[in-house]
Structure 1
Amino acid sequence: MRAITLVIIFIVSFASSANDFSKEIKLADNVVQGRVMSKSSEWVDGKVVTFHQVLVRDDLMAGALGKPAQSELVITQAGGTAVHPVLKVAISQTISHQVTLKEGDEAIFFTHTDSLGQQQLVKGQNSVVAVQGMGTDNVVLPAFKQLKVSKSSPQHANLLRAEQATDVVGKAVLQQEALTLPNAKARIKQLLADKLAKQGKDDA
């Protein structure tokens, strides 16, 4: 009688980022999924400041706290282009190593409250995590990966048959694909719950 083998092939040809938002959660006062609807810049104390109006689709922090969700979040950043109040010409200021927000950006935003009560992005490259596919059945975070099990290709099956005398059935391939938005939000909500639980213990 022939042996039947279940084969799982690991495909590791993708560059992968850890699906972990721990650093951003630790620094954030607000975590929302939304879209940058508009932006405006002005001179404040001798420098250009840009205000981004974000339409909030899902207020993850409010959900974790059990508070009413906000419908809009204004994110403030140094830099931008505005007319100088004295020179009356448009002047641009750029801040190096800063994430630049554009109108139409769909993302998960991690922000903190500064000394003036304004919302600013937390430090780190994942302070803004792009979301793609809104309005479709496949909404993903392309910068992050998750595992997916799928059937092996004919090439894999032929290779396995050539290497062993047994019949190969039930072949499965473990691949990586873009992290889905529901899975990302589930991870973020768990991290927020852990953070709030820890804060509760520290305050006790």
Structure 2
Amino acid sequence: MYEVEMEDEMFDLEDPLLEGDPFLGGVLGALSGLLGEEELLGEDELGEGEAYADGLGEAEAEVLMELLVDQIAESESEEEADQFLPIFAALAPLAVKAAGALAPVAARVAKRVVPQLARGVVSMGRRMMRSPAGRQAVRALPTIAKGAARDVLKTAARGQPVGPALVGRALARQTARVLRDPGRRRLCLRRSRRIVQAVKPRVARALASTV
């Protein structure tokens, strides 16, 4: 249903987090030192190893992904959601940063993997945005993107080349794994909502205190 097609839309893939964007910058600042990893995700949901790059922790990257897709899921129309397309691209570097024990590999291949992963996630996100049910399904995109990133990084860790076709297959495989299994899909969406409900008020208070 959501096959991945690499498209030619150009986003700032060198910096998909849109540094300078007031919302994203504010959220990143509010997350810093605010989140308790075990409280939010649970010990069994935390990855191993250190986070990849720029001081953004693995758990922080995961939570930020959920906050970003929550914005899209709460949009009221496909037209309104179009303004969030760059957010889909931002999921790619965050998924790589949440790679846990694969962080050393991520640091080595991120410049090749992130743009390819971003284009695939944007393509999937566009397809999902075509219906209200699809807009709710975007809550599964962080799980899908993280799974695809880990698959690609494991391939890179074995010394095998990574390219657009590999990334596309990884995304398609993870999409089918999550969305075609009703139980897995429900679990994924519940987890997303639980994280957002726990964090969103705290981030809002932190943002308000900086105004």
Same fold (TM over 0.5): no
Larger-Rg structure: 1
Q: TM-score, normalised by structure 1?
A: 0.29
TM-score, normalised on structure 2?
A: 0.28
Which one has a larger percent helix, Structure 1 or Structure 2? 2
